[in-house]
Homo-oligomer: A and B are copies of this chain.
Amino acid sequence: MKMLRSLITTILSAALLLTSTVTFAANWLALPDKPPTPADNPTTPAKVELGKMLFFDPRLSSTGTVSCFSCHNVMEGGDDHRSTSVGVHGQLGGRNAPTVWNAAFLSVQFWDGRAPTLEAQAADPIANPIEMGMKTGLAVDRIKKISGYKPYFDDAFGPDSQVTDVNIAKAIASYERTLITPNSPFDKFVNGDQKALNAQQQRGMQTFADTGCVMCHSGANFSGPALPLGSGFIMRFPTYPNSPYVAQYHLLDDGGKAVQTGKIEDQNMWRVPTLRNLVYTAPYLHNGLVKSLPETVRVMASTQLDKTLTDAQVGDIVAFLQGLTGEFPQQIMPRLPPTPGDMLE
């Protein structure tokens, strides 16, 4: 897997250096109905229902005020429209909350790709002291004390199941695998409806490919090829550190994957994010410092492709990206079991 990643990185890095002389053939793919799912956690309605409950339950945080939903607002863009998020006690996180919509199509999770699956991702913010702030074992203890959860765990994991951190994460991940937004104008266009994208959007689609955006933002989710879960499609950002945007938006301040691994080769390496539903997910980039979509397109063209786009090109690409807004499935609110009074004592 590591060799595969290195190989891809090498090929793409070589390709990036050629962008001023070549154009790119895009392989446009509609969003599948179902995302990849790990063999040890098949999606079932009972797990999805339990996972939805846990996703919305602020009792998974130390103060009882922060849930997964707090930073991943599935009633809107699956993020929190802030540069960086607010955790327990008003603490500020360091990176922009990525959208949970279509996250199931990413082969690794977090901006630095440090979690191989949604299951691994789900547990991390719960334990993070500036996000949900729960010490080891505390989340399990608390969910156990809320006795109304027991029948839902039984339904999801069998009558002899336990409330464990593994099962909590499996349930939340199962719910997240239902957060898919198909049938965007782009998807309809790819599926044969020639009028689903207007003339400007189709022009933008071509410019998106010709400029080289599609080199990284490929595949059905515009987040790279559909690699096996855990692989990670990780790229250097910024690739052209002399771009004036690099200083303006502090793009070298955060070392990306290297912050986690400590390895020099991981410096400023980032997982390629999806471009679906960008209309809903301002502000942009890992630090959330770029507020508008047109500016983000300019920044990316400059820092990754060493290109300065015309206003017309930017407008066309933005119009195309707006065509990536999908249909958000209707969702019923979960009913959360009550907090026993003696749990508070």
Contact = CB atoms under 8 A, between A and B. Distances in A.
Contacts of A330: 332-333
Contacts of A293: 341
Interface string A311-345: 00000000000000000101111111111111011
A338 B333 CA distance: 20
Contacts of A295: 341
Nearest to A288: B344
A285 to B, nearest CB: 12
Contacts of A333: 74-75, 330-333
A88 interface: yes
B81 A292 contact: no
A56 interface: yes
A59 interface: yes
A10 interface: no
A88 B89 CA distance: 9
Contacts of A56: 75
Contacts of A334: 75
Contacts of A339: 76-77, 81, 280, 282
A139 to B, nearest CB: 15
A86 B56 CA distance: 17
A77 B280 CA distance: 30
A256 to B, nearest CB: 23
A179 to B, nearest CB: 12
Among A63, A77, A81, A90: residue with most chain B CB under 10 A? A81
A64 interface: yes
A344 B73 contact: no
Nearest to A65: B86
Contacts of A86: 63, 65
A298 to B, nearest CB: 13
Contacts of A338: 76-77, 279-280, 282
Most B CB atoms within 10 A — which of A63, A75, A88?
A75
A73 B337 CA distance: 12
A267 interface: no
Interface string A216-237: 0000000000000000000000
A128 interface: no
A119 to B, nearest CB: 23
B81 A59 contact: yes
Contacts of A283: 341, 344
A64 B283 CA distance: 13
A337 B86 CA distance: 21
Contact of A291 (B59, B64, B345): B345
Contact of A90 (B80, B88, B282, B328): B88
A58 B330 CA distance: 20
A82 B64 contact: yes
Contacts of A90: 88-91
20 contacts: A56-B75, A58-B73, A58-B80, A63-B82, A63-B86, A64-B81, A65-B70, A65-B80, A76-B335, A81-B344, A88-B90, A90-B91, A282-B341, A282-B344, A284-B341, A291-B345, A292-B342, A331-B333, A332-B332, A333-B333
Given A293-B341, A330-B332, 4 more contacts: A76-B339, A282-B338, A284-B341, A332-B332
